[in-house]
Structure 1
């Protein structure tokens, strides 16, 4: 399955670059891209796109054979070639794109990730961690699937215990 995901990520990055539309890969694939290696099988691809270009982004997905399957409180889900895309908007805040309610710097413009030679824009480590904080509020960590426990541990090891604790305190105070 990962090879199909990687091919689709590559095609999406190329297509959005042609449109001068930045996208960022999030979640497990962002972890892998930031580490430069595939760490586990993936069920979906998390994508962050410019909020003001939502219709254009959906049009691109449709032109590639995809379709929106569900509107969510944070964005939408789509299917493309049998692969689930979990799509979330980033909002322009004057000098950068940011995912709502995440730490500043959630959508760096630099291609900070790479998998199999492919450069990828990724959500920041802090934004990735923030998703796990939301997940932990919905489901106790003891009930998480092994893949999420593994990925969360990778993020924590990169950021370090103190940084994770500071971010959790900030998350809890919002």
Structure 2
């Protein structure tokens, strides 16, 4: 595992680099978390310590192979829910495998197997990072994932941004 002292922020250029690698591997991904919220807003509002990506579970081998070729190695496994890959310079990508249904909706395993995380087809949208269109999760889906736990300062910041731009009511 990469030591946390090596962790560095994930820049917009890093986001583009990762998305380019994965596009070349012909896999589908959507940005979630902090970068996903900033993509919805169309501006970077804070530093990001990682990049959260949702991917098609059946494409996971291609995702891992493409990131491995770029120097990323698995540093945390909470499969089937999620796993993290880390580059030698400390950049981290938090990967979330999704199983898609015929209607375009998806599910992700959760700590409670009988209650998977639900992704309606309408949550797969686009945003922009530095003026470039990127695939991301909707504002409503971001709010959904920020429930049921004690929020950090970053979470409060992100939800405040969604409220400011979209008028969405959040629980904190």
The residue aligned with 1:168 is none
The residue aligned with 1:25 is 31
CA RMSD of the aligned region, Å?
2.1
Give the TM-score normalised by structure 1: 0.77
Cα distance in 2 between the residues matched to 1:63 and 1:23 = 18
- The aligned length equals 153
The residue aligned with 2:112 is none
Give the TM-score normalised by structure 2: 0.78
Shift of 1:99: 4.1
Cα distance in 2 between the residues matched to 1:138 and 1:146 = 13
Shift of 1:8: 1.9
SS of corresponding position for 1:10: helix
The residue aligned with 1:171 is none
The residue aligned with 2:82 is 75
Q: Is the 8 A contact 2:55 2:95 kept in 1?
A: yes
If asked which structure has higher relative contact order (CA below 8 Å, sep 6+), I would say 2
Structure 1 position 55 matched with structure 2 position 61: yes
Q: Which residue of 121, 128, 131 corresponds with 1:105?
A: 121
The residue aligned with 1:145 is 152
- Structure 1 residue runs without a partner (length 5+): 166-174
1:25/1:88 CA distance change after superposition, 3 Å = same
Q: Is the 8 A contact 2:25 2:63 kept in 1?
A: no
